[in-house]
Amino acid sequence: MERLVIHGGKRLSGTVKISGAKNAVLPVIAATLLGQDKATCLEDVPNLDDVRTISEVLKTLGVKVNHDLAKKELTVDASNIENVTAPYDLVRKMRASFLIMGPLLARHGEAKISLPGGCAIGTRPIDLHLKGFAALGAKIDIGHGDISAVAPNGLKGARIYLDFPSVGATENILMAASMADGQTIIENPAQEPEIVDLANYLNIMGAKIRGAGTNVIKIEGVNKLIAHDYTIIPDRIEAGTYMIAAAMTRGDVYIANAISEHLKPVIAKLKESGVNVVEDVDGIRVSCDRRPRAVDIKTLPYPGFPTDMQAQFMAMLTISEGTSMVTETVFENRFMHVDELRRMGAKIKIDGRTSVVDGQEKLTGCQVKATDLRAGAAIVLAGLVAEGETQIGYIHHIDRGYDNLVQKLVSLGADIKRVDN
Ligand code: UD1
């Protein structure tokens, strides 16, 4: 089994370039299913297992996909879709596979997908996606582990209120509604930068979407969307992870290609903790020459503190001065990193959705495992500062979402390698 082996204690310095965003590229790849007439070339596509999984899902539909890793370009030719069923073995690997349902329904009037899998960070229902499709006139049928949706006469625009601003549901409804008959209004949609990115991409293909990034999105359905090339936005969660790596190792790192506008709550909390953060148009410089101070964080939908940064920030709090409270409001089971951090000497108590972190002077290296993607990132960060050797197993979780993690960290001076035995 492959593992990461880290010898902690190295100060990180230099420049790291942020890759295209995992959570932006997955919906955009799903949206390529809507583009007709020619092939689409997506640029700045990260080298991630999740990208490979969604590419495989598209291939099972008869779509031609080619990822040129050297050029970071993914070409998708969806002029011909032969099949509207996504198989279980792919969908169970990655919940975001469910994002193909909106485009398939819009373009073909039918889709059949296994109930999704993904990281075990909560029950993660898909009721809001389905309510949205039903409001647009699709008939939904759940049975034998599959969800079928059909709209033989096409989708019809509707007013949809989301009980929770779900990122995936907003994206799926956005894609479905872009080719529905008439106007759709999504109230209380997710406002994440990845939603804006998807809307921008759909609009370039000919969609008529206004208000993405605000609390009401209006979509005027169009008959046809034409394939168009597109460049993916930088990954704010990858950027945030390197920002914390710089702070924890008392380093000095320039995070090139990071968009500070997308990272406001992370930057605010790092500054509150005494970390130096300097933003410019091309990136963010993070440096720290002392132990960070304890701060409280509470995850919320965008523009609140991102749940995808909670585990990494907690890793920093385990070595900060004082006691911090970390409250997770987005997912109900997102403290799986706590047990692993405790193995490394962290003092953390969990009370429901809140963890109380009592910052320690040091962590100690040991054998740990990545329990999900961001939990894996958190223990890598802990390993960078832990005394001695940290060995991390189950790293396939980390490969889902960090492009060239080992190479990037090594280039900043970390002692980390991948071993296979
Ligand atoms: C996306 C991100 C993920 C991030 C999450 C929240 C991608 C590929 N993944 O996941 O990295 O952690 O946003 O920022 O972009 N919910 C329902 N019903 C639904 C859908 C969601 O109750 O139909 C609940 C979920 O259980 C969860 C909350 O809403 O508690 C947030 O989920 P959602 O925003 O949908 O996350 P994802 O789109 O799955």
The per-residue pLDDT for range 348-406, each reduced to its tens digit, is: 999 999 999 999 999 999 999 999 999 999 999 999 999 999 999 999 999 999 999 99
In percent, how much of the chain has pLDDT > 70? Answer: 98
pLDDT range class, residue 74, cuts 50, 70, 90: very high
Nearest in space to 28 (alpha carbons), one of 6, 12, 50: 50
Nearest CA to ligand 1 atom 25: 124
pLDDT number for residue 93 = 82
Lowest-confidence segment of 78-92, 148-162, 344-358, 388-402 by average pLDDT: 78-92
* Site of tokens 């965008």: 302
Catalytic residues: 119
Q: Please tell me whether the peptide bond between 125 and the residue prior to it is cis, using omega within 30 degrees of 0.
A: no
Please give the Cα distance from 292 to 275 (Å, whole number): 6
Torsion over CA: 163, 183, 302, 29 (sign): positive
What rounded mean pLDDT belongs to the chain?
A: 95
Please give the Cα distance from 312 to 180 (Å, whole number): 40
Nearest CA to ligand 1 atom 2: 23
Q: For 269-307, what is each residue's pLDDT tens digit? A: 999 999 999 999 999 999 999 999 999 999 999 999 999
Residue 119 has pLDDT above 60, yes or no: no
Q: For 301-354, what is each residue's pLDDT tens digit? A: 999 999 999 999 999 999 999 999 999 999 988 999 999 999 999 999 999 999
pLDDT range class, residue 125, cuts 50, 70, 90: confident
Q: 310 near 336, Cβ under 8 Å?
A: no
Residue 118 has pLDDT above 80, yes or no: no
Q: Ligand 1 pocket: which residues have CB below 6 Å?
A: 23, 26, 95-96, 122, 124-129, 164, 166-169, 190, 194, 307-308, 330-331
Q: How far is the CA of 167 from the centre of ligand 1 (A)?
A: 5
Pair of tokens at residue 236: 């704010």
Residue range 67-87: mean pLDDT, rounded: 93
Q: How far is the CA of 95 from the centre of ligand 1 (A)?
A: 9
Residue 107 has pLDDT above 50, yes or no: yes
Q: How many CA atoms lie within 13 A of 237 on its CB side?
A: 26
Please give the Cα distance from 178 to 223 (Å, whole number): 9
Q: 267 near 260, Cβ under 8 Å?
A: yes
pTM: 0.96
pLDDT number for residue 241 = 98
pLDDT number for residue 174 = 98
pLDDT number for residue 413 = 98
Q: For 236-271, what is each residue's pLDDT tens digit? A: 999 999 999 999 999 999 999 999 999 999 999 999
Residues 6+ apart with CB under 8 A from 15: 253, 254, 255, 256
Q: Which helix (DSSP H) or strand (DSSP E) does residue 339 occupy? A: helix 337-343
Q: Which atom of ligand 1 is nearest to the CA of 192?
A: 14
pLDDT number for residue 120 = 52
Q: How far is the CA of 86 from the centre of ligand 1 (A)?
A: 20
pLDDT number for residue 86 = 86
| Rounded to 5°, angle at Cα 208 from 202 and 210 | 95
pLDDT number for residue 175 = 98
pLDDT number for residue 49 = 94
Residue range 42-69: mean pLDDT, rounded: 96
